[in-house]
Copies of this chain bind each other. A is one copy, B any other.
Amino acid sequence: MTNEDVFETIKTKEASLPERTAEQISRLIREQQLTSEDKLPSESELAELLHVGRGTIREGVKLLVARNVLEIRRGKGTYIAPNPGEISDPLGFAYCPDQLRLAMDLVEIRRQMEPWVARMAAEHADAEDIRQLRESCSVVEQDILSERDHSHNDVLFHVAIAKCTHNLVVPKLIPIITYAVKLFVSLTESRLRMETIVGHREILEAISDRDGQRAEKAMEQHIEHNRALLQEIVSKLKQEETDGP
């Protein structure tokens, strides 16, 4: 068997049998509205139900695990994933050759989206949302004050704001548009640490006071600080590139 032959057996473009089986299992999950509490039916049950061999079911399941529709829990079996079909870096940003330009383009989108999100958050947050937001804010502060990398928890703070909107999609968009936060924090060597603490606090208090306008304004300033510093750093780096060593 040559390499080509081996790869041929995978073929997704023409929907191979495992691929079609994956699609059928996926439809089953959607139709029966299975959640992460639910265990996937056994291999043999699925094989009988879908009229294919157990080997094909196994291959189909692997595809769905790779796409984060299913997950394996050790010693427990195969379950529906908590956010089925949602994967990290869903737009393949890691493969973008110009990460600096990507970071700049993302911050433009954040500047447009997030002040609006903050306003909606202030308008729709309930008491439990505020409690979680306050907790998330304090986790970022602890990171910063302990000089740990706060980028992961920083993204989670912005997701917590997005959850206050009670819009189904906004919390899923935030991790996408904040993709470059990690790069940003490393580029700026945390020069904005105190501004971040103050900025986050202002946003938190405005949302907690249910003051949409103030929340929008505070988020605008927060993102604008980030954008301006990123712009400065990127210009400097591109200049150095032009000048040579």
Contacts and interface: CB of A to CB of B under 8 A. Distances in A.
Interface residues of A, number: 66
A167 B109 contact: yes
Interface stretch (A60-68, A134-142, A201-209): A60-68
Contact of A92 (B66, B83, B95): B83
A229 interface: no
A84 interface: yes
A194 interface: no
Contact of A65 (B10, B30, B58, B112): B10
10 contacts: A3-B42, A7-B72, A7-B77, A10-B62, A12-B66, A13-B71, A66-B66, A87-B90, A109-B167, A113-B113
Given A67-B67, A86-B90, 13 more contacts: A4-B75, A4-B77, A7-B72, A8-B72, A11-B72, A13-B72, A33-B97, A66-B66, A67-B87, A87-B87, A105-B167, A105-B170, A113-B113
Q: Which 3 A-B pairs have the closest CB atoms?
A: A85-B92, A90-B90, A66-B66
Interface of A: 3-4, 6-8, 10-14, 26, 29-30, 33, 42-44, 58, 61-63, 65-69, 71-78, 83-87, 89-98, 101-102, 105-106, 108-109, 112-113, 116, 167-170, 172-173, 176-177
